[in-house]
């Protein structure tokens, strides 16, 4: 079951926006990519040089999980907190992508992570317009 099916089954989420659904999906995909990238960085020779990348990966993964969870919890209303989380997520994704891009020429996992972070950043920006 994907996010769309889960949301469709929720009695209070009939009006959730497509951009917010895309944001939720990208948040969880980015959390997976960042966690995997951090783990791969740890196995690289000279992983000390990747310390900042690992930190950004882990921070971004945590923010993405939090944002995906908050965006998936739609019963009741707390748009100010959700907007704050989505804004933070876009920032964390941008910073993580910038750091991973520094290592992308040498490490495929960093290139893949950076691409996913950029996708999530854009999804967050799109979702912000729909959270009122």
- Is the pLDDT at 4 greater than 70, yes or no? no
Q: Which fold has domain 17-128?
A: Substrate Binding Domain Of Dnak; Chain:A; Domain 2 (1.20.1270)
- Is the pLDDT at 10 greater than 90, yes or no? no
- How far from 79 is each of 42, 82, 88, CA to CA, in Å? 37, 5, 14
Which pLDDT score is estimated for 1?
Answer: 46
Which pLDDT score is estimated for 41?
Answer: 97
- Using 50, 70 and 90 to split pLDDT, how confident is the model at 13? low
The predicted-structure confidence for 43-75, as pLDDT tens digits, reads as follows: 999 899 999 999 999 999 999 999 999 998 877
- How far from 86 is each of 68, 91, 101, CA to CA, in Å? 9, 9, 22
- How far from 87 is each of 27, 37, 42, 101, CA to CA, in Å? 12, 23, 29, 21
């Amino acid at each position: 079951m994907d996010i769309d099916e889960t949301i469709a089954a929720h009695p209070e989420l009939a009006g959730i926006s497509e951009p917010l659904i895309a944001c939720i999906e990208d948040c969880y995909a980015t959390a997976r990519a960042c966690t995997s990238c951090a783990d791969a960085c740890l196995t690289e020779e000279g992983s000390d040089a990747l310390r900042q990348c690992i930190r950004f990966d882990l921070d971004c993964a945590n923010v993405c999980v939090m944002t995906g969870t908050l965006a998936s919890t739609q019963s009741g209303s707390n748009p100010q907190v959700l907007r704050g989380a989505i804004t933070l997520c876009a920032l964390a994704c941008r910073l993580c992508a910038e750091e991973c891009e520094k290592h992308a020429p040498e490490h495929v996992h960093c290139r893949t992570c950076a691409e996913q972070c950029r996708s999530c950043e854009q999804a967050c920006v799109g979702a912000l317009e729909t959270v009122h």
